Amino acid sequence: MRIDIISIFPDYLAPLELSLLGRARVGGLIDIRTHDLRRWTHDRHHTVDDTPYGGGAGMVMKPEPWGEAIDSVVASDAPTDVASDAPTIVASAALTPLLIVPSPSGTRLTQPMAERLAAEPWLVLACGRYEGIDQRVIDHYSQQLSVEEISIGDFVLNGGEVAAMVIVEAVARLLPGFVGNAASLTEESHAIGGLLEYPVYTKPASWRGRDVPSVLLSGDHGKIAAWRHEQALRRTAKRRPDLLHSSESVHLSDLGSTLMVTRATRADAPELLTLQRGCWVSEAQANDALGIPPLVESLADVRDGIETWTTFVVRAGGRLVGSARARLDEGCWRVGRLMVAPDLQGRGLGRWLLEHIEAQAPPEAHTFELFTGSRSAGNLRRYRKAGYRASSEPPPEPGVVVLRKPRRR
Ligand code: ADE
């Protein structure tokens, strides 16, 4: 991969010569070239900025040096395929770079974006300073190249150089051959289903009175994987709940198709109402209770429910096929409305949804609780299998059994 970086402070980019990145450059895996924007100025002071049209504080980078700089870099010798064993010249007529303009107003850099950029043969990064680059530069190059304005986070830096280094490092380390152990790339934060990474430990097993969690010493890889997944979910829920709101794809082999799991929004209410009516008819019949809330609720009630409960919906090929919700009540994570479309029941989706909603419990939750009809034999059996036991407390309404399970940490 080739990367050109244009800046008024090319020396700022010196760290790109260090460590693994430096080694990748020496080894020919990546060809990074830095350029001083002032090379393309023609006045005695090498001016690159001017006052903004319309007034306001700060200075704006002039379009002319940027135009000449980008034209010159784009017209320079086409990159060779430096990653392959036998370098081949890529047809220069066909190859144009992807132009990246680091900017606090850009699209936020994410791991999937870094993966996409790592598949590009050539990136040109244009580092702005001051209030930014004259918009016409971006508009002009958008006509002939792919241009992306990228932000590395919701804060403002003095210029694009540090952001460019962040982007280069995030991208370069994904190039095949950059890191010795490729598995370490797939197991880190933002790579496992969009979750933060679980906590890690090394020797000694006990340090200053703190022991490594015993499951990690058990040798039971299934249990270790489950523990790590739960830790990752818990961490994500606490530190980055926004990540849990985005969709997660799940593959249950028995269902044969990939399911998308998302936090429910008000827009899901009509389908959710239809699904819950379809799912609770047999329950109502078994318990002789046609007036149960899931059957008689209005659309407005379902919308309110979405707003007051943490609700997840599962879709298969766009169709809403399952849901579950929960909310915290005095240390108890009350789970409810666990439903799976009647034609997809008995294939593990209900069990998966129950585990999923349990995993969303905030750290303060010490107990899981749910209820079902006292004559809902199938549900009682399934919940028992999942570790729930009938509570001795009186049920909230007649004909209902409350089931509890202590949270295991
Ligand atoms: N330039 C200034 N602030 C920036 C940010 N947050 N991301 C990318 N480029 C920037």
Residue 103 CA, closest ligand 1 atom number: 9
- The verdict on 218 and 160 lying in the same domain is no
291 and 215 both lie in a single domain: no
Domain count, the chain: 3
End position of a domain, from candidates 166, 185, 204: 185
Q: Is residue 24 part of a domain?
A: yes
Task: Verify that 203 and 267 share a domain, yes or no.
Answer: no
| 302 inside domain | yes
How many Å apart are CA 157 and CA 37, to the nearest integer? 19
To test ligand 1's pocket by mutation, which of 156, 165, 168, 169 has the most ligand atoms within 8 angstroms of CB? Answer: 156
DSSP class per residue in 161-188? HHHHHHHHHHHHTTSTTSSS-THHHHTS
Determine whether the shortest distance from the Cβ of 96 to ligand 1 is under 6 A. Answer: no
Assess whether the C-beta atom of 156 lies below 6 angstroms from ligand 1: yes
CATH code, domain with 228: 1.10.1270.20
Please tell me the number of Cα atoms within 13 Å of 159 on its side-chain side.
18
Quick one: 150 and 274 in the same domain?
A: no
Among 157, 158, 165, the mutation site with the greatest number of ligand 1 atoms within 8 A of its Cβ is: 157
Same domain flag for 349 and 376: yes
Q: Is the pTM of this model over 0.75?
A: no
Q: Is the pLDDT of residue 274 over 80?
A: yes
Q: How many angstroms is it from 257 CA to the middle of ligand 1?
A: 40
Q: Which residue has the higher pLDDT, 300 or 223?
A: 300
Lowest mean pLDDT among 90-99, 159-168, 286-295: 90-99
Integer-rounded Cα Rg, in Å, for the chain is 28
How far apart are the CA of 54 and the centre of ligand 1, in A?
23
Cβ contact 386:354 at 8 Å: yes
For the ranges 142-156, 242-256, 316-330, the lowest mean pLDDT is seen at 242-256
In terms of Cα–Cα distance, which of 324, 306, 298 is closest to 386?
A: 324
- Is 249:260 a contact under the CB 8 Å cutoff? yes
For ligand 1, what atom is nearest to the CA of residue 152?
7
For position 242, what pLDDT does the model report?
73
Mean pLDDT to the nearest integer, 351-370: 93
- pLDDT average, residue stretch 305-314: 93
102 CB within 6 A, ligand 1: yes
Compute, in angstroms, the gap from residue 78 CA to the centroid of ligand 1.
Answer: 28
**Position 215, amino acid:** V
- 322 is in which domain, residue-wise? 261-406
Name 222's Cβ contacts closer than 8 Å, sequence gap at least 6: none
- Taking CA atoms only, the protein residue closest to ligand 1 atom 7 is 151
Q: Mean per-residue pLDDT for 91-95?
A: 58
Residue range 177-212, pLDDT digits in tens: 998 766 666 556 554 446 788 899 999 999 999 999
> Tokens in use for 320?
């809403």
CB of residue 163 inside a 6 A radius of ligand 1: yes
| Same domain (yes/no): 160, 227 | no
Residue 92 pLDDT class (50, 70, 90 cuts): very low
Higher pLDDT, 234 or 246: 234
Measured CA to CA, the distance from residue 97 to residue 99 in angstroms comes to 6
Read off the CATH number of the domain in which 269 is found: 3.40.630.30
| Cβ atoms < 10 Å from Cβ of 30 | 22
Banded pLDDT at 257 (limits 50, 70, 90): low
Give the nearest ligand 1 atom to 153 CA. Answer: 6
Pairing status of strand 319-329 against strand 332-340: antiparallel
Of 333 and 363, more confident? 333
CB 312: neighbour CB atoms within 10 A? Answer: 22
Residue 152 has pLDDT above 70, yes or no: yes
Residue 303 has pLDDT above 70, yes or no: yes
Q: Is residue 235 pLDDT above 90, yes or no?
A: no
pLDDT averaged over every residue in the chain? 89
Q: Where are the alpha helices (DSSP H) in 297-400?
A: 299-308, 349-359, 377-385
User: In terms of domains, do 172 and 201 share one?
Assistant: no
